[in-house]
Amino acid sequence: MTESLILTNEHLRCEIKPALGGCVAGLWFQGIPVLRSTPAQSLVSVRESGSFPLVPFSNRIGHASLQWNGTSHPLVKNFPPEPHAIHGVGWQRPWAVLETGEQFAMLSFEHRADAAWPFAFDASQVFRLTAHALEMTLSITNQSAQSAPVGLGFHPYFVKRAHSHITFEAAGRWEMSHETLPTHRAATRGLDVDLVALDVDHCFDGWSGMLQLRDELLHTRITSPMSRLVVFTNATKSFVAIEPVSHVNNALNMLALDPEKADELGVNILQPGESMTAQMNIEVTTAT
């Protein structure tokens, strides 16, 4: 299996480690790290990567028990000591390389039903460098014989520097319990704040699809057609996780309590053979 892939152009360098959850090991702009970045050959844990894919769900499924079509499916508690299933299965499995070039790569992952996820699916990732941006596409196809709940997302960790400032617009924020599960939705306008003292670990909905991260070195613009965004950082962290996602945290189980809320929660239900795609662009320029 390919150990690492390196995509480069005049401004950007992206290193990918397919065998380690299909993750982005690092992204640099003119030698400056944009994401939390480690050379792919040196990276040993996906939890230390620059970004990894969220498939077939984002964030948590409460207490690692999926409620679907009247059946409870026990899942693997895959992030001890947490009692939940977290971030799907793709980030903990090796991905195969389908195609690669100087500024392009395509990876694939085939999942067969197991204790971690009871529905078979195929997934792919596409990475493409343009002049100032890394473009990422994540797709999934339901390969099971029944309908399946599906969610997608990206989990990039951006470097937090001394004067990092985050700005984005949203309509709602899901408040969290002590178990890091959502309790209720509150209205919000988003965030426009310095990161140095920010303490946040929430899913925002009604996201405008664009976020700006500015510091003394770089201006980074994150865009996605998805309307939900998870943001996580606190004063002890040297990064801020900015995660465009398709659904609210624990949405797959919240849907079981109110089946009419699939659209509100962002849950996609794929019939056998149906597909879904998510996109995220990371555009970088020097600070002005």
Question: What's the pLDDT at 62?
Answer: 96
Distance CA 227, CA 108 (A): 25
- Number of C-beta neighbours around residue 3 at 10 A: 10
Condensed to tens digits (0 to 9), the pLDDT of residues 230-257 reads: 999 999 999 999 999 999 999 999 998 8
Q: CA-CA distances (angstroms) from residue 174 to 2, 8, 208, 233, 279?
A: 40, 38, 16, 16, 23
Of 136, 139, 23, 86, the residue nearest 249 (C-alpha):
86
CATH class of the domain defined by 5-286: mainly beta
Asked whether the bond before 39 is cis by omega within 30 degrees of 0, the reply is: no
Q: Which two tokens stand for residue 245?
A: 């996602």
Question: What's the pLDDT at 249?
Answer: 97
Distance CA 90, CA 22 (A): 8
Instruction: Please check whether residue 41 is in contact with residue 3, taking contact to mean a CB–CB distance below 8 angstroms.
Output: yes
Q: Which two tokens stand for residue 92?
A: 């903990």
Q: Which two tokens stand for residue 283?
A: 């555009």
Question: What's the pLDDT at 3?
Answer: 84
Domain boundaries along the sequence of the chain: 5-286
Distance CA 206, CA 189 (A): 9
Burial grade of 6 (CB within 10 A; 0-12, 13-18, 19 or more): middle
Question: What's the pLDDT at 274?
Answer: 98
Instruction: Please check whether residue 117 is in contact with residue 129, taking contact to mean a CB–CB distance below 8 angstroms.
Output: no
Distance CA 221, CA 130 (A): 14
Question: What's the pLDDT at 2?
Answer: 65
Question: What's the pLDDT at 1?
Answer: 55
Element spanning 230, H or E: strand 228-233
Q: Is 92 helix (H, G, I), strand (E, B) or coil?
A: helix
User: Under 8 Å CB-to-CB from 75, ≥6 apart: which residues?
Assistant: 61, 64, 65, 66, 85, 115, 116, 117
Instruction: Please check whether residue 242 is in contact with residue 229, taking contact to mean a CB–CB distance below 8 angstroms.
Output: yes
Residues of the chain with pLDDT under 70: 1-2
Model pTM score: 0.96
User: Under 8 Å CB-to-CB from 51, ≥6 apart: which residues?
Assistant: 23, 24, 27, 35, 136, 154, 155, 156, 157
Question: What's the pLDDT at 258?
Answer: 87
